[in-house]
Amino acid sequence: MTLLERARALADRIASRDTEEGEELHRASRVDGAVPMNEVQPRAVCTVAGVVVAVTRSVPGEAPQLSVDLSDGTGVVSARFLGRREITGIAPGRVLVLEGRFCSDSGGLVALNPAYRLIGSERAEPRAQQH
């Protein structure tokens, strides 16, 4: 097998893995009434559901802010919770439902202080809050 053939085989495996992961995220985040993230229009109020892929907290000395990135396998959206550095139960791998107005920000879509609901853990669900 030539170097070019090996590179193509590796690229095919990576693309296949990415497709499988996207399909798995889409299955895991199916919630009635949720719009696929690739269909969310800027400045639209809608409900999305996805798996938390990243959580970023502001550092001490800055205004409190928690940023959460979600993916449903079709796209990625972000939520920013102003005035908070932590929300119990929100962590990478959790399924989260967001409802709010999604606006363009640095090439992506973000909702500020959206209503949220945690899905998938009986232990955390009773403590989930609506904002």
CA dihedral 78, 81, 87, 92 (to 10 degrees): 10
What values do phi and psi take at 27, rounded to 5? -65, -45
Q: Measuring CA to CA, how many Å separate 68 from each of 15, 16, 54, 81?
A: 26, 27, 6, 8
Query: What residues form DSSP beta bridges with 98?
Result: 48, 116
In this prediction, residue 124 carries a pLDDT of 35
Q: Is there a contact between 51 and 94 (Cβ–Cβ < 8 Å)?
A: yes
Mean pLDDT of 12-36: 63
pLDDT tens track for 53-97: 999 999 889 999 999 999 998 899 999 999 999 999 999 989 999
CATH number for 3-127: choose from 2.40.50.140, 3.40.50.720, 2.70.98.10, 2.40.37.10.
Answer: 2.40.50.140
User: Where do the domains of the chain lie?
Assistant: 3-127
- Band of pLDDT at residue 107, cut at 50, 70 and 90: confident
Residue 123 is predicted with a pLDDT of 37
